[in-house]
Amino acid sequence: MNTDEIDLALYTRRPRERFTQARVIVALKKAAQQRYGTSLGLTKRAARHLRCAESTVRSYIQRYPKVRAVKEQIEKEWRALVDDIIAEIKGGR
């Protein structure tokens, strides 16, 4: 793997931070996979994966554009899925 392809900022933490950006991104992706059939939101489920407060995940989303982009992409995929389901239901009537 070429070092130019690796974004080292994703794998380093600031001195007072508990998690790297990459770890929060992985937690968001895992939370998205387990979203179905639960009443918990994305950030709350990601916080459970990380064993931290939901506010911690929200602060990473606010602070880091790459983490925010992953969250927005997940939400966009969910909206597209919901739109497809609604269209299918409306078409079936």
What is the average pLDDT value for the chain, to the nearest integer?
85
Domain boundary assignment for the chain: 3-92
Beta carbons within 8 Å of 64's beta carbon, 6+ residues apart: 21, 24
Other residues' Cβ atoms within 10 Å of the Cβ of residue 42: 19
Q: What is the pTM of this model?
A: 0.78
Residue 65 in tokens:
């554009």
Alpha-carbon gap, residue 29 to 13, rounded angstroms: 20
pLDDT digits (tens, 9 = 90+) for 21-51: 999 999 999 998 886 655 568 999 999 999 9
